[in-house]
Chains A and B, each alone.
Chain A
Amino acid sequence: MARKILCVAEKPAIARAVATHLSGGSFQTHSIRGNQYVKNYEFNFNFGGAWGDCAVTVTSVVGHLTGLDFDRQYKGWQSCPPGSLFEAPVLEAVDKVSKCQQLSRSSADARNKDKLPIAENIRNQAKYAKALFIWTDCDREGEHIGSEVRNQAKAGNGRIEVKRAKFSNTERAHVRQAALAPIDLDEYQANAVAARIELDLRIGAAFTRLQTLQLQTVVAALKEKVISYGSCQFPTLGFVVDRYLRVKNFKPENFWGLKVIVNREGKKVNFLWKRVHLFDRAVVTMMLERCLVAKQAKVTKVDQKPKSKWRPLPLTTVDLQMMGSRFLRIDSQTIMKVAETLYTKGYISYPRTETDQFDKAIDLKKLVEKQYPDSSWGQYARELIDGKFKTPRWGRHNDKAHPPIHPVSWVSPSSLNANEKKVYEFVVRRFLACCSDDAEGQSSEVEIKYGDEFFHANGLIVLERNYLDVYVYDKWESSQQLPNFERDESFEPTEANIFEGKTTAPSYLTEPELIGLMDANGIGTDATMAEHIAKIKEREYVAVNTRGSGRSSVSELIPTRLGIALVEGYDNVVAGLPNSVSLSKPFLRKEMELRMLEICSGNKTRQEVVQQSLDMYREVFIHTQRRINMLKTACRKYLVETPES
């Protein structure tokens, strides 16, 4: 029997790309029974080394194969006290219907949710194979999906050897290279995901049942509603509510400041007060008087120095989502979907990455050259290669799995839809900017002492735009030129005045800000943040409000009454209890996320982490049960009684 190797990718499109690159384009395609998307591609390929020339079947799964659920007797909502779900037995089984634990990873198409035919296909194919090469995406989730694939393959053929291909984009040379140098599956990472899945299931189900059953009886509006809880969703909601309350409770205050105007060389120069402004009018008035009495101001500092504006760091997922929603006006979940499509089609590298360092081994110039055909930035790319190329800045993050997001091939804009065009353009421009020089300018600062007070004026000339020419999202403009001032020179300012102002409320939270908060507080991973945000919108805990119009419009996240009620309710549940934190705060989830990392590094086992995390949440659960009236009261307050406003 000829040696056969079975390759399994995470998505059909990746399977096709892998088959295309390894076979050189000639392969046979076989449909599988029961799923219209998954295909088996067959051809021969020389894997080199001990493997040599082999028959190959490339197929795929569609995201996760299996799901975790409670035993049948615990499935009904009334079947058991919700608290027992912390211990109830759970079973892993191949998905028959939607489990949807990883929405973005499975096609939203309902017909695709039955995973039995896919699992069967893998078992069958494994029977005739010497080895299994796993081609799932190289991240934590992919490692776990890989372990699911392995389990099916082993069920079909106990002696099959298991390897995994390490790759981060679907460009031809990269894929072929990965096929020649397979590594082992990372069990730690797969275990971390398994732990997370179990925790999400238990904690999510327990709290969801508790709060749904309890709150349904309180308010008519909630009667038919499932009030879901998720350990990422709630802190995410918490950030939105927190900001909303800050805006609502805000009280404006008056402030006063000093400004000095100097006319010189035909220019009017505004000097800014070092103290910016103060909240005491009498003090500011006294300070102004002392300036005026002093009459003469003295130049204490004249500084001329080169100033550069740094080119951006290599692109990470969080950055793509934040910048994307800021500059491209697309919400983060859509951005990720579009980026995923661009990756699957082989135009950009894997879009889920925390890395902002380009490995020395990557031939960046070659990637720049690929952009020559473009009518907008092709010329710029050429100039880079003709001598302006700079090695990108070295960021501080490396997830050891994927390079920063970058274009892997050029694609004509005419073959992309509107959103794809925007995201692709952003990724390319960002990449070219990374390979460019910083923008250079000359800044000047003059500081004066007038009375007891210091004032300063600044000027800037942009000398070399460099990366700014391609990275149209950054703005850095020359300002007014300062007239000449000499150090220690004394002069009488033309004018000195008090200005008055009022503090303004912060604005409601925007999506990029929310992503920033989630990132800083360890809520979700770069891959899942967008989903959590989409979830709280879908659950009607948060609504999106558009302020302004046209180019200057801003989408703001505003909690619904239900959203506010839940946060206030949970905050009240733990109010006054020592060492208890509300579920609306990020702390518990952050701790859980840190423990996942400990599994990944091999310092803790899956069981330890599951137990510790369950204990942590069980404590809050018990408080919640005991003080469920806090939640009920909050819901009545916001959903029944007419609010005062």
Chain B
Amino acid sequence: MASPDQIAAQILSTKSLSVSPNWLNTFLSSGLAQRNVPLSALAKTAIFRLLASDIKESLSKHRSCVLPVDVYDPMVQERCLQGSIPVQVLDIEDIGTSLWSQIEAIERVERGEAIRGREIVRTIAVDEDPEAAESNPTNNGPVAGANASGSSGSGPHRLILQDAGGTVVTGVEIQRMDGVSVEKLAIGAKLLLRNPTVARGMVLLTPGCATVLGGKIETWDTPWRQGRKARLLEKTGGLEAE
């Protein structure tokens, strides 16, 4: 039978995750390990459970795999962290799209228009020329292009991340990352940061220094999604009061 050490080693080598011995023991005593399950299968199950767990309970809090506690300090212009640090997603926001157009998108889904696949509000281009959109290179583009529905909804995203020790930090998707979007990335999903750069307290997320491991914490994700529209509305309300 596979020993806890063997499984921990397997998880470390495949996912670079240092599992907490307590959590592993609980996992192994859950009955699965009694039968003759091969090591690799057992490790896979463990990883699956890990990704659905709160890493504050399931991963090692060793100094080498957590964020510095002052990581969010905005006074620090730039620093590079060493090693592989697993984190879990507490929140994700698209900062390339206005809150209002995100609300409108949610409402379209609520009305069943997007679900049915019948695109109701499809304004056909008044000018059919496919090049017309870019054929007027003006030098004040950004301002001219700024209306509520102007963005494609593809980020960049701002994430709130948490390490095994409970330290919370903002992450910014500074280069496009696969799997990072409001729809695809679940709350509780795990990311592995490798030697990431932190600027003004924000972790810079790029495909080179962050890997999406996936997963989800159901009890966090469901209420987050249900409450998303209310939160967006609240924020736009706050803006108006300013």
Tell me the A residues contacting B by CB distance below 8 Å.
242, 246, 250-255, 257, 259, 270, 272-273, 275-280, 282-283, 285-287, 289-290, 293, 307-310, 312-313, 322, 326, 443, 452, 457-460, 475-476, 479-480, 499, 501-506, 512-513, 516-517, 519-521, 581, 585-587, 590
Contacts and interface: CB of A to CB of B under 8 A. Distances in A.
B131 interface: yes
Interface in B13-60: none
Interface in B117-155: 118, 120-124, 126, 128-132, 135-143, 145-151
B148 A506 contact: yes
Nearest to B95: A280
Contact of B104 (A246, A287, A499): A246
Contacts of B74: 282
A520 B122 contact: yes
B148 A504 contact: yes
Given A279-B98, A282-B200, A326 B126 contact: yes
Contact of A251 (B100, B129, B130, B202): B100
A270 B199 CA distance: 27
Contact of A513 (B126, B129, B237): B126
Given A251-B236, A513-B123, A506 B149 contact: yes
Contacts of A289: 77, 199-200
Given A250-B148, A286-B199, A290-B199, A277 B135 contact: no
Interface residues of B, number: 54
A522 to B, nearest CB: 10
A459 B137 contact: yes
Contacts of B77: 289, 293
Given A272-B142, A286-B199, A506-B149, A452 B124 contact: no
B118 A587 contact: yes
Given A276-B145, A282-B200, A521 B122 contact: yes
Main secondary structure of the interface of B (DSSP, over half): loop
Given A286-B199, A460-B137, A503-B148, 20 more contacts: A251-B236, A251-B239, A270-B140, A276-B145, A276-B150, A277-B146, A278-B156, A279-B98, A283-B172, A286-B200, A293-B78, A307-B135, A309-B132, A310-B129, A452-B204, A501-B143, A503-B150, A517-B121, A520-B124, A581-B112
A238 to B, nearest CB: 9
Given A250-B100, A289-B199, A257 B95 contact: no
28 contacts: A253-B98, A255-B98, A257-B142, A272-B139, A275-B156, A279-B98, A279-B99, A280-B95, A282-B74, A282-B200, A283-B95, A308-B131, A310-B129, A310-B131, A443-B137, A459-B137, A460-B135, A475-B136, A476-B136, A479-B138, A480-B139, A499-B142, A503-B147, A516-B123, A521-B122, A581-B112, A585-B113, A590-B118
B132 to A, nearest CB: 8
Contacts of A520: 122-124
Nearest to A318: B124
Which of B74, B139, B202 gathers the greatest number of chain A CB atoms within 10 Å?
B139
Contacts of B99: 251, 253, 279
Nearest to B149: A506
A313 B172 CA distance: 45
Output the residue of A286, A307, A312 with the most chain B CB within 10 A: A286
B194 interface: no
Nearest to A239: B121
B236 A259 contact: no
A592 to B, nearest CB: 14
A476 B135 contact: yes
A310 B128 CA distance: 10
A190 B11 CA distance: 72
Contact of B142 (A259, A293, A457, A519): A259
Contacts of A273: 142
A286 B142 contact: no
B118 A270 contact: no
Contacts of A287: 174
A513 B200 CA distance: 45
Contact of A275 (B96, B140, B237, B239): B96
B240 interface: yes
A279 B97 contact: yes
B95 A278 contact: yes
B216 interface: no
B128 A313 contact: yes
B95 A279 contact: yes
